[in-house]
Amino acid sequence: MKITVCVDIMGGDNPYTELASGALAAAKEFKEDGLFVVMVGTEEARASLSELPENVRFVTANSVVEMTDEPGCVMKEKSDSSLATAVKLCRDGEADAVVSASNTGALFTASSLIIRRIKGCRRAALGSVIPLEKPFVMLDCGANIDCTPEILALYARMGSVYAENVLGIKSPRVALLNNGGEPHKGTPVYVDTYALLSNDKSINFVGNCEGKALPFGACDVLVCDGFTGNITLKLIEGMGKFMSKSIKGIFYKNALTKVAGLLTKKQTTNLKKSLDISEYGGAPFLGLAKPVIKAHGSSDAYSFRSAIKQAMLYCQSGTIEKMTAAMAKKTTEEPAE
């Protein structure tokens, strides 16, 4: 099965050469799986690359969306950017999915207005896979700051479909991120959301989940608004880096600790891997008509390669079709307003 992933190699925190290396690595590693990569970048970026493999094509764009740009620029003064070009190629059927490490707001804006949402989805969400001991998907992670109970319930259904089909979790446990386990905890929006999720028979709702329970496999899908989710995501990422740095400091303190480090190297390597966001590489915008993966802005070559792999798996899983069917079924079940 041929899967074409369009990758924007411009606009990340690292140079385009780093992202291009990740794209080429993915093309080589997953060639036998049917992966074809369309790289989008400036003429300067193309000139820096040697002859491309047979499963890689380069498309030239005229501008770049910077991290400091307003999201709407991608539809106006920078409609010819590498980001906008990648999204348009996907819309026009020249690619099955999009991967970009560029401006999150701009990617969300372009994807929502150009690729558009699946029928029955009122709002797309940024869903990030959190790589702890037992990975789970959290949404929203920053696309939508203000959410109604109905929107959060929609996230729960989309996250459940994604966890089951992409992460391979049967009957995924859905939880609502909150400041307590009781149904009455949280703001009025979260109290009302709890009631909606409790009555939704299409998901396996397990109740509220406090932040302290997240590292211990409390759920498979975590639902929250984008403000709360983004803070939680960045705290987990920061703690992962802190733990990795602290463990390394302990084992390099003296000769005795270095010996202990060698004896426990396998275990510490596994721990580091479980905290490493580069293993998944990015976060999907759930609810769009085609897979769009927001790679981390700080992506290195390996992380960007992982984001492309995630896009490929997203396409192979048929999740978009299953999510569309789930949304359609729920829409027919809901009474007209």
Hey, what domains does the chain have and what are their CATH numbers? 1-116+288-321 (3.40.718.10), 127-277 (3.40.718.10)
pLDDT at 272: 62
Q: What is the pTM of this model?
A: 0.81
252 vs 150, more confident:
150
Tell me the C-alpha distance between 141 and 160, whole Å.
16
Give the list of residues 6+ apart from residue 93 with CB closer than 8 angstroms, or none: none
Residue 227 in contact with residue 133, Cβ under 8 Å? Answer: no
- CA dist 115 → 18, 74, 291 (Å): 27, 13, 10
Q: Which of 36-45, 68-77, 245-254 has the lowest mean pLDDT?
A: 245-254
pLDDT digits (tens, 9 = 90+) for 222-259: 999 999 998 988 888 787 778 777 777 777 777 777 77
Average pLDDT, the chain: 86
CA angle 23, 82, 143 (to 5 degrees): 90
Q: Dihedrals φ, ψ of 32, to 5°?
A: -70, -15
pLDDT digits (tens, 9 = 90+) for 261-303: 777 777 666 666 655 555 666 888 998 999 999 998 888 999 8
In 46-186, beta strands by DSSP E: 56-60, 97-100, 125-130, 136-139, 173-177
Mean pLDDT, residues 180-206 taken together: 92
Residue 335 pLDDT > 60: no
DSSP output for 62-89 = SB---TTS-GGGGGTTTTTBHHHHHHHH
Residue 12 pLDDT > 60: yes
